[in-house]
Structure 1
């Protein structure tokens, strides 16, 4: 039995006429009659009674019609679903965000993806350091990572989305909050709250480079992996910090953000994916992220 036999039978049953069914199916009437006889012979059941004037379903034919319609509907639905998968309209995408991107990019990208790709399931993971994202990408527990280059894993494709300057985070009671901008040299005697050292955070290295260019080495009193905790420590008066400009979207009472005057140090935000990942739904999400941030597609 083939699917065409079911389609032929349904057409005849709905038209109750071999001629009209043949016209609907665009085949010759004798060929259609032969196919229905083949189907009945294979089933060993009479599905239709035929007279010179009309065609009627037998009780077995009525029940078979219900099942045939259900089978054809399932096959059609499977074809539609396969097309949606092929186009990337459905699927699951696990996305990691570095700390600073968690508070700006994550919410804005999530809103856009929910609106434009409702069939794609999102697994969003915030506050992930770049080395942790690289490991997760290689182990295939992440599909896309929004992280800070450089990334030296040969199996990943890394595309820079934008560059952003470092800004200062100060306790709200700090005297420098009275200024519109802050000179980095004015923070030389301040205790610093920093991201993790030992190459676990690109921002840590950027902060040290910026401070050394300003003529001093920062005195680090605390290393913190999560951006929200870092800013909270500053708000609590434990020190000051330098963070990417996007962190200003994280508002914590007791902290103030100020641009740095005379400092051009920037950090990059990039999207990383596995080089061998050809999933269309991952490509769609990545393309939308590029559009959102104004980067190349």
Structure 2
């Protein structure tokens, strides 16, 4: 994780060498070994520097999440609060148009969960989710721009929204109830690039020949509507984009062509249970319908507008039934800012030590666990004693039937379990790739020859530990 973070922050491995951790050549060899083990390029090397690939970003985020939960568990090890009583924290990436004031509304509707809202446009939202940087994402999809492509992901469609045309109020086409794109071929357009509407605008322009004339290019629907209201052209917008102050200067009309985009909710099932995901989807749909009724009553009353589900009742959103215990008993997945360490570097609790504790817990005997871990029993005993001395907590104790974990050790495993499973899922997905392991000194961009995928072996803690040579 330190190597990947150095590449992310500085664009090279020189920072690792300056920090005294290891030489640059040693860091490069370690990264190459990790790429071979995962059968996935993690960095891309070029004459201008080194940067992380998408897989590298995903591994860095998932690894930091696991290390953060270890930091949190160790820093609060002497707090006797039960982890089951803690509120879960869900990092939620949403479009900027939805983000403002959403945190307070989510708190009112879902008091059993803490949502950490991360705003951005749809590209940023889905990119964060693809890289495992957030637990849930809500953003727009189009036929030309799908949302997430992560495996083992729950995706719910919140609404399907048609695109409308905004025209100046004195435009001659405002007398029509429905417009055709070809009727607008000879008018000037205000084009929106980037953000949530760029793909929709580009798709509409591709249907027109010759290409339409563009008077202004902006990056937001609000700026486009302002220019349309001043008579500088027409634009393609959401039917709920117009504010009440726009009513005197422009009008919105539906299109005969079906240009539809989809508002989707994607969640990580390791963090967000199905029951909570369904309730969150229903709440988002209710918010959209309420916004449509306020900003565009004609659209809200049309057949193209989404309808409320039976989980939404009355003048305000209320859940039909309480959330089941599976949705309220989530374990926290926290990225702590604490950086806990023992008195000596050898005493630091790291991800590989979770594998030791899980093996002891599963087997129930220190002797047999040593055989399974391919170490001697005295060596495993000394390792456990060093860990206990470093963290100041008992981790194992002897019983009449063998060896058992202490309450502190079980709490540590409970706290880190969701983050470890997420990292394990990501590593398993990477190792299913058919890309061959990179050769030493070969840029990642040229590693494209085919090879058979190596079967997945053991938990991620053991994979990372053997990769780092510990």
TM-score bracket for this pair, using the shorter chain length: 0.5 to 0.7
Partners of 2:169 and 2:99 lie apart in 1 by: 26
Aligned CA distance change for structure 1 residues 210 and 227 (closer, same or farther; 3 Å): closer
Aligned CA distance change for structure 1 residues 205 and 139 (closer, same or farther; 3 Å): closer
**TM-score calculated relative to the size of structure 1:** 0.54
Aligned partner of 2:278 in structure 1 is: 287
DSSP-derived class of the 1:258 partner: strand
Contact 2:166 2:253 survives alignment (8 Å)? no
Contact 2:163 2:255 survives alignment (8 Å)? no
Aligned partner of 2:123 in structure 1 is: 131
The 5 Å alignment of 1:111-122 reads 113-118=106-111, 120-122=113-115
Aligned partner of 2:182 in structure 1 is: 185
The 5 Å alignment of 1:243-254 reads 243-248=237-242, 250-253=243-246
Aligned CA distance change for structure 1 residues 161 and 186 (closer, same or farther; 3 Å): same
The 5 Å alignment of 1:62-81 reads 75=80, 78-79=81-82
1:256 is the counterpart of 2:250: yes
Say how many residue pairs are matched: 204
Aligned CA distance change for structure 1 residues 209 and 137 (closer, same or farther; 3 Å): closer
Contact 1:167 1:245 survives alignment (8 Å)? yes
Aligned partner of 2:163 in structure 1 is: 166
The 5 Å alignment of 1:101-112 reads 102=97
Shift of 1:241: 0.8
The superposition leaves residues 37-74 of structure 1 with CA deviations (integer Å, 9 ceiling, x where unpaired) of xxxxxxxxxxxxxxxxxxxxxxxxxxxxxxxxxxxxx8
**TM-score calculated relative to the size of structure 2:** 0.36
The answer to which structure has the higher strand fraction is: 1
Aligned partner of 1:144 in structure 2 is: 136
Q: Looking at CA atoms only, which structure, 1 or 2, has the larger radius of gyration?
A: 1
Aligned partner of 2:84 in structure 1 is: 83
The Cα RMSD (Å) is: 3.7
Partners of 1:279 and 1:220 lie apart in 2 by: 45
The superposition leaves residues 173-223 of structure 1 with CA deviations (integer Å, 9 ceiling, x where unpaired) of 434334443333332222222332xxx567434334445546653333433
Partners of 1:296 and 1:159 lie apart in 2 by: 16
Partners of 1:94 and 1:152 lie apart in 2 by: 14
Q: Which runs of 5+ in 1 are unaligned?
A: 1-73
Aligned CA distance change for structure 1 residues 141 and 284 (closer, same or farther; 3 Å): farther
Shift of 1:251: 4.0
The superposition leaves residues 66-123 of structure 1 with CA deviations (integer Å, 9 ceiling, x where unpaired) of xxxxxxxx85xx23xx3343xxx542533311x6xx2xx5579656523222354444
Partners of 2:135 and 2:265 lie apart in 1 by: 10
Aligned CA distance change for structure 1 residues 265 and 139 (closer, same or farther; 3 Å): closer
The 5 Å alignment of 1:188-207 reads 188-196=185-193, 203-207=197-201
Shift of 1:232: 2.3
Aligned CA distance change for structure 1 residues 152 and 243 (closer, same or farther; 3 Å): same
Aligned CA distance change for structure 1 residues 136 and 217 (closer, same or farther; 3 Å): same
Contact 1:94 1:124 survives alignment (8 Å)? yes
Q: Which runs of 5+ in 2 are unaligned?
A: 1-78, 286-307, 312-470
Contact 1:181 1:258 survives alignment (8 Å)? no
